[in-house]
Every structure is written in structure tokens, then in C-alpha cells.
């Protein structure tokens, strides 16, 4: 099997951390996506390893459970030759009364190079980034941002449709609790796509229109002529109170089925960040429609995007250390 070329060094990402999509410029996003493309091809080959992170230590620090994202980051770091440690903090230190900053200071003393952090509170990764010397990647903070998810979504779309500019994207469902939605709103808006949000009013944050999106409460209206239908998971674990009456009612009005999907463009792509609640936010048949659903492809893109992000930050670290 042909061995892929080692890509040229990454120079176009000037940030120390990747805490969110907000604030990234179109060239920065494009650079990350371009870089990810290379890793997509590489990951499909037998020899998946590159030496970009050799000698670097990546700590996956997860305060919330997540097998998929953690594994994706772990694989990404390993394929770049880095050392990876997974720390799950839900049941250990926090129970002993340790604060987030205590944890950060402890980890800092171990001299990691990149911390990949998921936390249930919005802004927690930002706080952590101010207390450590290493680079921090936000792997999801509360209902705030999940930048690598937005990047992998963008990569999936770009590979399928060749562009982001000018596309009409509908993000549907639990916008209120979704960090995926926020990161995607920033990214797609920055890259010139038009974003619609479709949800019951009770699952929409106040003033979300000011983020430059169009808001709909009716799936059929909202999906009209869309190129992309991005479904979101109902984040029941984040809901305090009841934001909709029942899952059967939710599915009736806001679940994606072929009847509602018929209003989108005939070749509209279906996306979902997973894990899916089948029969609640998306009909199984639609989710498994191999012609239109790119849900599995999103997972594949995730590893490549995370490789690009890890590499980008490690290049910057090297610069700061005077090694590049």
C-alpha cells in the first residue's frame, strides 16, 4: 500500500488554545479544514502514524462522560505519535473536594503539552486555560462551544458539497442546551453559509436571532430548500424542568422523518453529532439512509479534524519554546 506523503509543517494557526470557533477567522478555519483533508486520506491507509506529536503529552481531561469524543481525540493524538493519558474526573478528585483550579495546578505540575478538556460548565475550559502553561482544546464546555465538532461538520459538508459559502443549513432541535449548535452557528456564519434554527420556543435561547440566524418553529417551513439538515440530540441530562411535553409530541413536531425532510432540497444531507435518540429527534430510516445521511462520515472526519487541531497547537507550542 502506498504510504502517504508527510504533510508540510502547519503554520497558519496563531492561537495558543482552541477554546471555541468564535473569534476564528475564515483563513484560520480554512487552514484547519485543509489540514484535516490530508489526515482523512492518511487515516484510510494502513500506515496511519505520523511523527508530529512525538515527545508531546496529551491529557484527555473529561469531567463529563464521553466515549466517542474521548476516543476520537485519543486516536488522533496516537496517530500523530503523542503520548496520551485519559483522565476521568467525574468520580475521583472532584468527589474528594478538589476544585477545577486544583486539578489544573496538579496537572500542570506534570508538564503536559496539550490538555483536551470536556466540562459540564460553560466557560470551564477558558478558566482552566488561564491556569495552565500548556495548550488547551475545548472538547465541549456546558452549553457553550464544541469547536472540533463544528470543524468536523464543516469538513463533512465541504467534502460532500465542495463549499460552505452560500449553503442553507438548518440546525434543528435542542438549541438551548447545545454547544454543537453554537459552534456551528459561529463557523457556518463565518464561512458564509446561512443558518436557520428550528425548535420549539422553549428550546431556544433568548436573543439567539442576534447571532445572525433565522428562527423557525415549524420544521416544514424551516427546512424549505435547505442544503443541510443538522439534527441535534435532546440533552435531557441538562434539562432542569420540562421544555417539551413528551418525546412522542417532540417527534411529531420536531423529529426528522421523510415527510418533513421532503421540504428540504432533494439531495439535502442529514447530519447528527450523535449519539442519536432514534424515534425522538430522528426517524431510524432517515438516520440510516445511506444516500443522504452522513452521520458515520462525521465520526470519521472527527479523527482527522482533531489531528489537525492537535498539530496546529503543538506547532505553536514549539514556536513559543523557540523550537520552530
Partner 1 sequence: MNSRSITLDALTERSETPTPTGRPLAFVNARILDPASGADIPADPKGGVLCRGETIIAAGGDIFAASIPDDAQVIDCAGHCLAPGLVDMRIQIRGAGFLSTGNAAVAGGVTSAACLPNTDPVIDDMSVVEFIARRARKVGLVKVYTYGAATKGLEGREIAEMGMLAEAGAVAFSDAVKVIADAQVMRQALSYAATFGLLVVQHPEEESLAGDGVMNEGETASRLGLSGIPREAEAIIVERDIRLAELTGGRVHFAHISTAAALDAIRRAKARGLAVTCDTAPPYFALNETAVGDYRTFAKVSPPLRAEDDRAAVIAAIADGTIDAIASDHSPHSEDAKRLPFAQAAFGGVGLETLLAVSLELYHNGHLDLLSCIEKLSLSPARLLGLNAGALTAGAPADLIVFDPEQGWKVDADTLNSKSKNSPFDGRPVQGRVLTTVVDGRIVFRA
| Strands laid side by side in the 135-141 sheet | 83-88, 57-62, 114-119, 135-141
C-alpha cell at 137: 482544546
Give the β-pairing of 228-231 and 168-172.
parallel
- In the complex with partner 1, which residue's Cβ is closer, 241 or 266? 241
- In the complex with partner 1, which residue's Cβ is closer, 253 or 258? 253
C-alpha cell at 323: 523550537
252 has binding-site annotation: no
Minimum distance from residue 201 beta carbon to partner 1 (Å): 5
186 has binding-site annotation: no
Minimum distance from residue 64 beta carbon to partner 1 (Å): 24
Minimum distance from residue 263 beta carbon to partner 1 (Å): 18
323 has binding-site annotation: no
- In the complex with partner 1, which residue's Cβ is closer, 71 or 244? 244
- In the complex with partner 1, which residue's Cβ is closer, 6 or 202? 202
179 has binding-site annotation: yes
- In the complex with partner 1, which residue's Cβ is closer, 85 or 280? 280
Sites of contact with partner 1 (CB under 8 A): 200-202, 206, 217, 241-246, 248-249, 252-253
306 has binding-site annotation: no
The Cβ of residue 244 has, within 10 Å, a number of other Cβ atoms equal to: 16
91 has binding-site annotation: no
Minimum distance from residue 182 beta carbon to partner 1 (Å): 20
Q: Which residues are annotated as a binding site for L-aspartate?
A: 96, 179, 233
Q: Which residues are annotated as a binding site for carbamoyl phosphate?
A: 68-69, 118, 146, 149, 274-275
Amino acid at each position: 500500500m502506498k504510504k502517504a506523503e508527510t504533510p508540510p509543517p502547519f503554520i497558519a494557526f496563531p492561537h495558543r488554545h482552541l477554546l471555541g470557533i468564535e473569534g476564528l477567522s475564515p483563513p484560520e478555519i480554512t487552514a484547519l479544514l485543509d489540514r484535516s483533508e490530508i489526515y482523512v486520506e492518511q487515516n484510510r491507509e494502513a500506515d496511519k502514524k505520523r511523527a508530529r506529536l512525538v515527545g508531546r503529552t496529551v491529557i484527555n481531561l473529561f469531567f463529563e462522560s464521553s466515549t466517542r469524543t474521548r476516543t476520537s481525540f485519543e486516536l488522533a493524538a496516537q496517530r500523530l505519535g503523542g503520548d496520551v493519558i485519559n483522565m476521568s474526573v467525574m468520580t475521583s478528585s472532584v468527589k474528594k473536594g478538589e476544585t477545577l483550579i486544583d486539578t489544573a495546578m496538579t496537572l500542570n505540575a506534570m508538564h503536559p503539552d496539550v490538555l483536551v478538556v470536556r466540562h459540564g460548565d460553560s466557560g470551564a475550559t477558558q478558566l482552566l486555560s488561564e491556569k495552565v502553561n500548556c495548550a488547551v482544546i475545548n472538547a465541549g464546555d456546558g452549553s457553550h462551544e464544541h469547536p472540533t465538532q463544528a470543524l468536523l461538520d464543516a469538513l463533512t459538508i465541504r467534502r460532500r458539497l465542495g463549499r460552505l459559502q452560500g449553503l442553507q443549513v438548518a440546525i434543528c432541535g435542542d438549541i438551548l442546551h447545545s454547544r454543537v449548535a453554537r459552534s456551528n452557528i459561529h463557523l457556518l456564519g463565518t464561512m458564509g453559509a446561512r443558518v436557520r434554527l428550528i425548535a420549539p420556543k422553549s428550546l431556544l435561547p433568548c436573543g439567539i436571532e442576534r447571532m445572525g440566524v433565522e428562527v423557525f418553529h415549524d420544521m416544514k417551513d424551516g427546512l424549505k430548500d435547505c442544503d443541510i439538515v443538522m439534527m441535534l440530540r435532546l440533552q435531557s441530562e441538562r434539562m432542569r424542568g420540562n421544555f417539551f411535553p413528551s418525546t412522542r409530541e417532540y417527534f411529531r413536531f420536531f423529529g426528522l422523518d421523510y415527510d418533513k425532510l421532503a421540504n428540504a432540497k432533494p439531495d439535502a444531507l442529514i447530519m447528527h453529532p450523535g449519539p442519536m435518540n432514534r424515534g425522538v429527534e430522528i426517524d431510524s430510516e432517515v438516520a440510516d439512509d445511506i444516500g443522504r445521511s452522513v452521520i458515520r462520515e462525521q465520526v470519521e472526519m472527527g479523527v482527522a479534524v482533531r489531528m489537525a487541531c492537535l498539530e496546529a497547537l503543538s506547532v505553536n507550542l514549539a514556536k513559543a519554546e523557540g523550537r520552530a
